[in-house]
């Protein structure tokens, strides 16, 4: 009986060592998404919009601030509601009015389209109270894989205060404006149908 009691105490002690001593991750106070700034018409051919490429820190859910010495830090308490690159892609697609002659679609749909747009995010961060979005966008013909047009896009917005919320809202505004500029570029780059 005594041996069983000692064995039971030893087993309970061993099992308690399996409990994690790591702290729980902090849940953000607020999640933000990149919204459509404007509905655009004039897309005259189908267009596949690829998810933008970006450095891992920018592509994730964290909202990034860059110090004057170049150090990157995550803003505590606020995050994107999903990956920033996916949200930019969806905002570009949603910028087009449904029902136009051409449609902007995700590549996962498997649609064959005459053109596709690829982009690379160069900046999607805060510099103090200024939000900065900068990217390169390219339209390519899918049949011959020829570059049709390429452009640089940038947008800025100033935060109302140093609070994480106001800075996140400013970055959302800058990102939304980048998405609209990319959509406008696609409309102007795709040649008119005969």
- Taking residues 141-163, what's their average pLDDT? 95
Question: 29-189: which CATH architecture?
Answer: 3-Layer(aba) Sandwich (3.40)
pLDDT score at 26: 72
- Taking the C-alpha atoms of residue 101 and residue 125, their distance in angstroms, rounded to an integer, is 35
pTM of the predicted protein model: 0.83
pLDDT tier, 27 (very low <50, low <70, confident <90, very high otherwise): confident
How do the domains of the chain map onto residue ranges? 29-189
Lowest mean pLDDT among 58-62, 115-119, 148-152: 58-62
């Amino acid at each position: 009986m005594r041996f069983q009691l000692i064995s039971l105490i030893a087993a309970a002690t061993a099992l308690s060592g399996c409990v994690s001593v790591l702290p729980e991750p902090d849940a953000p106070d607020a999640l933000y998404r990149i919204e459509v700034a404007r509905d655009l018409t004039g897309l005259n051919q189908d267009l596949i919009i690829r998810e933008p490429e970006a450095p891992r820190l920018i592509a994730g859910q964290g909202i990034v601030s860059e110090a004057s010495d170049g150090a990157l830090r995550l803003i505590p308490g606020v995050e994107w509601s999903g990956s920033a690159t996916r949200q930019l892609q969806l905002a570009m697609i949603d910028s087009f009015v449904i029902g136009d002659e051409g449609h902007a679609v995700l590549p996962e749909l498997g649609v064959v389209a005459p053109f596709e747009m690829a982009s690379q995010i160069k900046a999607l961060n805060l510099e103090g109270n200024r939000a900065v979005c900068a990217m390169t966008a390219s339209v390519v013909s899918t049949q011959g894989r020829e570059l049709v047009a390429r452009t640089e896009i940038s947008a800025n917005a100033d935060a109302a205060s140093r609070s994480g919320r106001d800075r996140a809202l400013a970055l959302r505004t800058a990102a939304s404006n980048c998405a609209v500029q990319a959509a406008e570029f696609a409309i102007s780059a795709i040649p008119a149908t005969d």
